[in-house]
A and B are shown apart, each in its own frame.
Chain A
Amino acid sequence: MFISKKHLPRRTFLKSIAGVSIGLPLLDAMIPALSAGTTAAKPQLRCAFIYTPHGVILDKWVPKTAGANYEITPILTPAEAFRDRFIILSNLAENPAKQAGAGHASSSATWLSGAVTKDTAGDDIHAGTTIDQMIASKIGQDTPMPTLELGIEDVSHMSGQCEGTSSCAYLNTMSWRNPTTPLPAEINPRIVFERMFGDGSSAAERYARLQEDRSLLDSITSAASKLKIRVGAQDRTRINDYLDNLREIERRIGQIEKRNTDAQLSVPDAPTDIPELYEDHVNLMFDLQIVGFQADITRVTTFMMSRELNNRTYPQIGVSDQHHVVSHHMYNPAQMEKHQKINTYHVKLFAGFLDKMQKTRDGEGSLLDQTMILYGSGMGDGNVHSHDPISVLLAGGANGRLKGGRHIQMEKHTPIANLLMSMMDVAGTPIDSIGNSNGKIDL
């Protein structure tokens, strides 16, 4: 699969003004370029994990009845057009998150592992390996970027603001390569784009740079191996990490090189910067995932549409209070309504993603047909930091393995880890257990 035409004039991204900003997101302009030369590839599963913080107003999210004929709820209404493409799973619980600190950081950090995060602000952070990483190790190894971690909020001004005694590391990503290595989420669309398509204005230039990167990596790897001998045991662990990561980058470069020789990789111009408006930013990040899927640069993505504990305000939908503050609504109806508005708005943006996925052709069907998407929060009632029940739904056809249009009402307190188990099955990567799993969910 390759992208065949240079389609998008850079001006599209530059011609934006305050309040309007990037009107035409990346994808719309790119689709012709992407689809024109696409050869029919054999269907390939993709996975996306989309997180929203602070839980939801539960009774406005969970339908009253189970099964296919449930009545759509207010929060889910913006996604109603896709109700036959998603499964609502109620009564799931993320109780391991309860054990750590005040429970915001752990909500996202536990979401994809079902594992307890060690309550520490110190240097001994510990969480569970997340399923995006496990799935990618099976289905993503012959793509340049096995996983892509995306976020929206700049966390670099976070200082001392992380929750209670728990480390900022838990808050800033929901993707853990292993129990001690959180993977930072990238927020700048331009940088994501450069990582996907490389840095350089022509194929020849990109090729030359890849060669240069390769010899740099060789030299750095040999220097790191020498360094390893000189340092103590603890430091050696760090250097081993470094060496592993260097090998991973080498692998990626190999992949990109292979792609370059397989096809004429011609790419559109990169987006220039982070859009000013939240909505544009979120949409652009969704687009990048679709582009990544379509060009087969990545098959697994995680995206925090917003991070736990964030103080974002949503004046565009009439909520000028901070999200975290309104999520502690103390059951005051006016505050609850604001929280619900934000929940609904997030679903609306998510529905936009589903819409584009559905419209993007992939092989014989649509990208949505091939993808498994987990959407939701690791919290339920944000007011009391409750992790039981939480609000999630599973969307997409997962390559024919998932059928939407249902509300599956689980037994109360069913661990979300059971859902993770089932998702691993769907991905063709079954495991014996994860986190606090005690079974599977029949999807």
Chain B
Amino acid sequence: MKNSLRYMALAALFAGASCAASSTDGFSALLNKYCVTCHSEKTRTAGLILENRDFSRVAEDAQIWEKVVRKLRAGAMPPMGLPRPDNADSDRFATWLETALDRASVEHPNPGRTLIHRLNRTEYGNSIKDLLDIDVDTTDLLPPDDAIDGFDNVAQMLTISPVLLERYLSASAKITRLAVGDPSAGITTTIYRAKPDLSQDAHVDGLPIGTVGGLAVTHYFPRDGEYSFQPQLSRSILFIVHGMEDRHSLEVTIDGQRVKIAQFGGIEEDTRSHLNAAQVGDEIDARMAFRIRVTAGPHKITAAFLRQPSDQSAEVWQQYLRTALDSNETKGAPHFNRIIIKGPYDSTGPGDSPSRRRIFVCHPAASQDELPCARKILSALARRAYRRPVTDNDMETLLSFYQQGRNQKTFDQGIESAMRRIISGPEFLFRTETDPTGVSPNTPYRISDLELASRLSFFLWSSIPDDELFAVASQGKLHERAVLEHQVRRMLNDPKSDALISNFAEEWLQLRNLRGLIPDPNVFPDFDDNLRQAFLKETTLLFGSVLREDRNVTDLLTADYTFVNERLARHYGISGVYGDRFRRVAVTDDARRGLLGQGSILSLTSVATRTAPVLRGKWVLSNLLGMPPTPPPPDVPALKEATGDAPLSMRDRMAQHRASPACAGCHRVMDPIGFSLENFDAVGQWRVKDSGAQIDAHDTVYDGTKIDGAVGLRNFLLTRRAVFVQTMTEKLLGYSLGRALGYYDMPAVRNILRDASREDNRFSSIVMGIVNSAPFQMRMKPAEAVEETSAAAE
């Protein structure tokens, strides 16, 4: 086999490292002295027995030893308060175990098995975009996918239900109708809303200069034709349009061109609206509505208020940064609510949209040209969509759909009909890999170049391969190391690798939870959607800088720069930043450096009214240190809160909680980490007091290290930086494979880490390590060959 050479090379590498396996007696002594009290045959704490372990057969207990290695490397065992071996001994033991485990894996490699993988909602949307050059809102078309450990691209969880299939069918109809500009699609209505807690007294990113508030959207117009636009303003619970006491102008633009300007408000209208609010509101709606001819394809629509001197008076009313909306309030700034786009009316044709340009690579001039042209169009689409060469069988199927549509309607609709078959079929929706016949069961084998190309593009782009990647794979060259490396670098440089930010980073760091974050407006009256968006943007820009500038991934913890706009700078107390554009600034406050100083992480680990040190501790342990705490016991003992007295500080309340033995074990690990961040409140603002009491951010973390505040926590994490890099690598490897990692993957992880550490743990070195790893390039043929052939014959 091709791979045996690689294994032999690796085996030789480990042979050198392993000859020192002489002093295993010392390890037995170490285990007996520090571990066996709790992990004996009798006590079995956490179901783990470390008594009388045979060090000559480490490989047989790989699952157990991998756990031990993890705890030792993180410094998490023995627990705080119990005697510990000194660090050198503990490290030596861990290193010996790792070497033995890695050597065993070279002898008996297990790259795992990635299962059949349905495209998840994000992958589906990206693939459609790359295939048909059309951006569709998949959240509207498909149900969400279930996630494991935060990741929604895990093959096993990508289950199938009748509802899902129905939705795939209806999505395929909608998408192809839109892409082709089908005249039978009829008139459709789309509503775009501004977030209800968006503050609209300042310029919003993406809107014309000189405006405040409003909304920018890219709308896909299915055909050339007339469309109606109905902008609507927010009204109070009594139907009164907000901000009426001053005269305002709303401007609507399409692709930067003003297409409508409408006035409202002022003394006269304000007075009338207090007499008949609904009528005046409807008049204003009518004044803002318009119909206009638009060409097919995506166009950027904005609606915003013109900035004018009278906005000053609006600000006088405002007590808080947030302008949005108490539904009883009618004073202050006007608020844009939504825009309704409907059409097309009097359509003049499908037009020349980007997706039609992508799809119709030929236009039949006469009827005898039609079939060859259909063949050309459909084979190009099917090859991209199926991520493999198109077979005669495929073409036969597609052409029969084409013919059906053609016979009933037009050439275009014939193509549309066949396209529907392409994007609703299993060839597109499932990523399958086939075991080669020549490989015996229970044996790892190298996947084909085409399969590798798919793995690569779904890993780095969350989408299908592009033409170049496909070409290299078709030539059978992709597995060649230099070729592969070239492709990976090219793909990382492509903007499509933003998928690593919007999928991997957002899922790893749980940033998607920001969307549902609603701090209690009574406690945090300044919090608004502008801040929520800014939080997300700051963290994704930081991750993006590590990706795009190919930095050491520990910069995520230590970065002395960050990205802010005016709103976020104000929140952090950074001066001299004006406007809605994000820019890179130096972080001068030591506590704010890296992820743990960012409003995003600090607020998504809080609850609506207060911080939650437990959640912060849990977040750090799970996502930065790879040690998710075990869940609370079934019946959490209830704690009586002192009633009537002054409220207890968070620390006092938690101290009570920790006093319960059932809770102490885990909380002793989680809480100190959380407490060190107590100077950041539930929306990430700096504070020195909580409920009137001075905050004490000193604590002792699980390995006995004393830390002080956010800086102390960061310094502690840096002493465990290898654990952090490993955790991120594990998350990224699991993400790249679309499966949960097992103990048998750990040798591959260590391999990746060894190589990456030689390149300063740069982001690309970890990606390259993953792409070159056995789990990524190989697959295990299962031990079921006999059963399989008989089943196949049935």
Contact = CB atoms under 8 A, between A and B. Distances in A.
B788 A232 contact: yes
B25 interface: no
Contact of A18 (B143, B235, B518, B787): B235
Contacts of B193: 276
Given A195-B166, A246-B165, A249-B162, A186 B143 contact: yes
Nearest to B139: A156
A28 interface: no
Query: Chain A contact residues (Cβ within 8 angstroms of B): what range?
Result: 35 or more
B235 A159 contact: no
A181 interface: yes
Interface residues of B, number: 107
B784 interface: yes
A219 B160 contact: no
Nearest to B417: A212
B704 interface: no
B513 A183 contact: no
A117 to B, nearest CB: 13
Given A199-B170, A233-B788, A167 B146 contact: yes
In this complex, the member of A121, A180, A235 whose beta carbon has the largest number of chain B beta carbons within 10 angstroms is: A235
A169 B157 contact: yes
Contacts of A234: 113, 115, 782
Name, among A18, A154, A180, A384, the residue most crowded by chain B CB atoms within 10 Å (CB to CB). Answer: A18
Contact of A20 (B147, B235, B426): B235
Contacts of A413: none
Interface in A12-52: 14, 17-20
A163 B154 CA distance: 18
B155 to A, nearest CB: 8
B401 interface: yes
Nearest to A170: B146
A321 B608 contact: yes
Interface stretch (A83-91, A223-231, A285-293): A223-231
A384 B638 contact: yes
Interface stretch (A97-105, A347-355, A403-411): A97-105
B56 to A, nearest CB: 32
Contacts of A186: 143, 163
B159 A172 contact: no
B638 A232 contact: no
Contact of B161 (A161, A184, A311): A184
A52 B512 CA distance: 25
Given A172-B146, A331-B640, A17 B165 contact: no
Nearest to A270: B189
B692 interface: no
A160 to B, nearest CB: 3
Contacts of B169: 213, 216-217, 249
A306 interface: no
Contact of A209 (B173, B514, B609, B643): B173
Nearest to A208: B408
A308 interface: no
B163 A241 contact: no
B649 interface: no
Contacts of B630: 164-165
Contact of A220 (B327, B425, B521, B787): B425
Contact of B232 (A17, A220, A230, A233): A17
Contacts of B191: 14, 272-273
Interface string A113-144: 00000000111110000000000000000000
A285 to B, nearest CB: 15
A299 interface: no
Nearest to A334: B643
A238 B118 CA distance: 10
Contacts of A162: 147
B248 interface: no
Nearest to B639: A330
Nearest to A239: B116
A230 B788 CA distance: 9
A156 to B, nearest CB: 3
Interface in A220-261: 220, 223-224, 227, 229-236, 238-239, 241-242, 245-246, 248-249, 252
A18 B196 contact: yes
Contact of A159 (B425, B434, B510, B628): B510
B480 interface: no
Contact of B515 (A19, A99, A157, A172): A157
A433 interface: no
Interface in A143-185: 149, 154-169, 172, 177, 180-184
Counting from the closest, the 8 A-B pairs by CB-CB distance are A164-B631, A123-B156, A160-B150, A156-B144, A159-B150, A235-B116, A19-B327, A157-B515
22 contacts: A17-B232, A17-B239, A102-B631, A122-B740, A154-B516, A164-B630, A167-B146, A182-B146, A213-B169, A216-B172, A216-B420, A217-B169, A227-B430, A232-B113, A233-B784, A242-B160, A248-B162, A249-B166, A276-B196, A313-B518, A383-B638, A384-B637
Interface of A: 10, 14, 17-20, 98-99, 101-103, 121-125, 149, 154-169, 172, 177, 180-184, 186, 188, 191, 194-195, 199, 201, 205, 208-209, 212-213, 215-217, 219-220, 223-224, 227, 229-236, 238-239, 241-242, 245-246, 248-249, 252, 272-273, 276, 311, 313, 315, 320-322, 325, 330-333, 383-386
Interface of B: 113, 115-116, 121, 139-140, 143-152, 154-157, 159-167, 169-170, 172-174, 184, 186, 189, 191, 193, 196, 230, 232, 234-237, 239, 281, 325, 327, 335, 337, 340, 397, 401, 404, 408, 417, 420-421, 424-427, 430, 432, 434-435, 506-507, 510, 512-516, 518, 520-522, 607-609, 622-623, 628, 630-632, 634-641, 643, 739-740, 781-782, 784, 787-788, 791-792
Given A18-B335, A19-B237, 14 more contacts: A20-B235, A123-B156, A123-B157, A155-B144, A160-B147, A183-B163, A215-B404, A219-B425, A220-B425, A232-B113, A233-B782, A234-B113, A245-B162, A276-B196
